[in-house]
Amino acid sequence: MSGFKFTTFVMDTVLLITFLGLISMIFNLHRFAFYGEFLILLVLLLIGAVSAIGINNNFRWAWILLALFFAFVFVNMLFIYVITTVEIPYFLILLVVAVVGFFISLFNIEKEKTEKDSGEIKKGEIKVEKVEAEKAYTADKQVKKTYKPGKYIASKLREHYHAPKCDWAKRIGKKNAVWFNTEGQAKKAGYKVHDCIRS
């Protein structure tokens, strides 16, 4: 687990409020309406539990499922309000909670999509540019040992400079390679020394 996430906490709270409100609304119904809505509630509880587990593990499909869940809950609440004979004083609050849950889900679907499109995978606090690293590694498996056009190499995408024989240097693609003749030039350009040079 990667620690406390405010959005996940808010969504879990919204789900709890939604279910408590639905339960309260359903128990105001009579006979067949109660039985039908109770079955729907059981299905929604299952979907909500699966979605909660999914969002706690950062799965995009869980946010999509929650968006559909809240859209259905909104319509279902309106239906219950129409068929019930008892006045529900907190009905507007429950509708607002369902709308908030829907928009939080939509926001997180877009957020996950943009992170996926940027090629970054978050694991803890480390960002790995997986696609770029794979392309660079396959395109340039061997660095020439003549050390031309310089004695040190860095990537435009990273912060360290390396000796050309370093394994990390071999992964730098030609289009992202920056060469230096001296360590001073590399440091002046803002790069930090890598462990392969220190040892």
Q: pLDDT tens for residues 33-64? A: 889 989 999 999 999 889 888 888 878 888 89
Q: Tell me the residue ranges of DSSP E strands in the chain.
A: 120-123, 126-129, 152-155, 160-162, 177-180, 192-193
- Could you give the CA distance from residue 64 to residue 117 in angstroms, rounded to a whole number? 17
pLDDT exceeds cutoff 60 at 169: yes
How distant, in Å, are the alpha carbons of 157, 162, 189, 196 from that of 179? Answer: 14, 10, 11, 16
- pLDDT of the residue at 75: 92
Mean pLDDT in the chain?
A: 79
Q: pLDDT tens for residues 149-160? A: 778 889 888 888
pLDDT exceeds cutoff 60 at 178: yes
* Domains of the chain by residue range: 6-118, 127-198
pLDDT band at 142 (very low <50, low <70, confident <90, very high): very low
- pLDDT of the residue at 89: 76
Higher per-residue confidence, 58 vs 119: 58
pLDDT exceeds cutoff 70 at 2: no
pLDDT exceeds cutoff 50 at 124: no
